[in-house]
Amino acid sequence: MVQRSDVNYFGAGPAPLPTAVLEKASQALLNYQDKGLGLCEISHRSPEANAILAETKQALTDLLEIPDDYDILFLQSGGSGEFSATVYNLVSIWVEKKRAQIAKEVGDNKEGVLKKLRKVVDEELKVDYLVTGSWSLKASQEAARLIGAKHVNVAVDARKANDGKFGTIPSEDQWTLTPRSAGGPAFVYFCDNETVDGVEFPSFPKSLEGDDAPIVVADMSSNFISRKVDVEKYGVIFGGAQKNIGNTGIAIAIIKKTLLPPQSPYASPDLLRELNLAVGPIVFDYPTIAKNNSLYNTLPIFDVWVAGQVMKGLVETYGAKRISGQEDISDEKANLIYGVLDKYTDVYRVVPDKSARSRMNICFRVAGGDAEKEKAFLAGAEKKGLLGLKGHRSVGGIRASNYNAVSLDGAKLLASYLEEFAKAS
């Protein structure tokens, strides 16, 4: 029988979880805190569930040093659900701000306000997307589906700078962001780490900083809690849990409180319908979820508990270093693997440009993408217990996902196999 200790899993998601957390989870599923009920059976409104929510929020706050003026929400539908939720919520804020401005100019004339607002929405509403990989592309496509392509400004399409393929992040002077002088966009979205294409932003974009900076939305599904983040630069950070944080079932959103009522009123559903703009489902409505402490509907408390255990483990492991401790390990593992790939360039080709290489999803080809040799590479890796290395079906090749639960020893074993395979080729 193959034991858990016999394998190292590099799958892109669902990703590996710490064995210690899974061992605790097996007991919690059967009998949580000696109550005779498992975690999947307790009420999401029970004192135990509220304690789990509070502890998980605190662990994430401690790790990322999240300021007090941010809220943490737990939602369902994963990162893809947040593609929609960010559009519904932030466009609603933009519309209400414009309505209030127009109402000051024209007074209580409802028809006059609506007429002018229609014109402003038609001519000025923009959401900016930095498309650097498959997931940011999907996010931009969802925005276009919800509010219309004319309102979506793809400020950068990285494929145009890379022979039609993703693999680089063009320099910021090539981006065509909606000018701030023209009122700016409702928000700017980017995917901090592209799981499929192995592209990661090395740092926060300089062009999104400043006193008049736009609301910035970042999808961190696949590099959440892997490096230090200056949370205050973002309006919304979101991510599905199933990469670095927990198991499939929840998404986590960190939201600046100024984007929630009463600081930011939202347009009414009736007004949005009058403007032919999408009205979001109530379970995607940030004000509703925040007001109800993420318990508007039945939250999968077991999934929140798993995420909390993972993050509490990091807090205990790294102490005062917080997430910087995990960042050091993530960098060390990535450098080990990339070091061997760069050593044997006659055998391996790293797909993304060196300036945008992901620390989390290391994508490469063997022998220029030779199908038989890549098949042999995967077969040899499996014999050594190195699993989950097959690239995404849309791009092929090899992908080593270097998430937090992949141990340093596991990364060393993969590096050793890369050396062995290269020398034998």
Q: Reduced to 3 DSSP states, what percent helix, strand and coil does the chain have, rounded to the nearest 5?
A: 50, 15, 35
% of residues, the chain, pLDDT over 70 = 100
Same topology for domains 54-303 and 322-424, yes or no?
no
Average per-residue pLDDT in the chain?
A: 96
Q: What is the pLDDT of residue 231?
A: 98
Q: What is the pLDDT of residue 362?
A: 98
Q: Which residues lie across from 73 on neighbouring strands?
A: 253
Residue (of 157, 189, 184, 182) closest to 83 by Cα position: 189
% of residues, the chain, pLDDT over 90 = 96
Pair 366, 325: CB distance under 8 Å = no
Element (H, E) at 349: strand 348-350
Q: What is the pLDDT of residue 392?
A: 95
| pTM above threshold 0.75 | yes
Q: What is the pLDDT of residue 107?
A: 85
Q: How confident is the model at residue 264 (pLDDT cuts 50, 70, 90)?
A: very high
In this predicted model, what pLDDT tens digit does every residue of 17-27 receive, in sequence order?
999 999 999 99
Q: How confident is the model at residue 133 (pLDDT cuts 50, 70, 90)?
A: very high
Q: Where are the domains of the chain?
A: 54-303, 322-424
Q: What is the pLDDT of residue 295?
A: 96
Q: How confident is the model at residue 305 (pLDDT cuts 50, 70, 90)?
A: very high
Q: Which fold has domain 54-303?
A: Aspartate Aminotransferase; domain 2 (3.40.640)
Q: Which residues contact 27 (CB under 8 A, 6 or more apart)?
A: none
Element (H, E) at 218: strand 216-219
In this predicted model, what pLDDT tens digit does every residue of 199-237 receive, in sequence order?
999 999 999 999 899 999 999 999 999 999 999 999 999
State the burial class of residue 108 (Cβ atoms within 10 Å of its Cβ: 0-12, 13-18, 19+).
exposed
Q: What is the pLDDT of residue 183?
A: 85
Q: Which residues lie across from 200 on neighbouring strands?
A: 193
In this predicted model, what pLDDT tens digit does every residue of 345-358 receive, in sequence order?
999 999 999 999 99
In this predicted model, what pLDDT tens digit does every residue of 33-57 receive, in sequence order?
999 999 999 999 999 999 999 999 9
The region of weakest confidence among 80-89, 101-110, 370-379 is 101-110
Q: What is the pLDDT of residue 113?
A: 95
Region 332-341 average pLDDT? 98
Measured in whole angstroms, the distance separating CA 52 from the mean position of its chain's CA atoms is 22
Element (H, E) at 297: none
Pair 420, 348: CB distance under 8 Å = no
Q: What is the pLDDT of residue 207?
A: 96
In this predicted model, what pLDDT tens digit does every residue of 161-197 receive, in sequence order?
999 999 999 999 999 999 988 789 999 999 999 999 9
Indicate whether 14 pLDDT > 90.
yes
Three-class secondary structure of residue 248 per DSSP: coil
Backbone CA torsion sign across 130, 132, 136, 137: positive
Q: Which fold has domain 322-424?
A: Aspartate Aminotransferase, domain 1 (3.90.1150)
Q: What is the pLDDT of residue 283?
A: 97
Structure tokens, 174: 């090539």
In whole angstroms, how far apart are CA 361 and each of 16, 68, 221, 410, 418?
14, 32, 12, 15, 16
Q: What is the pLDDT of residue 253?
A: 98
Q: How confident is the model at residue 153 (pLDDT cuts 50, 70, 90)?
A: very high
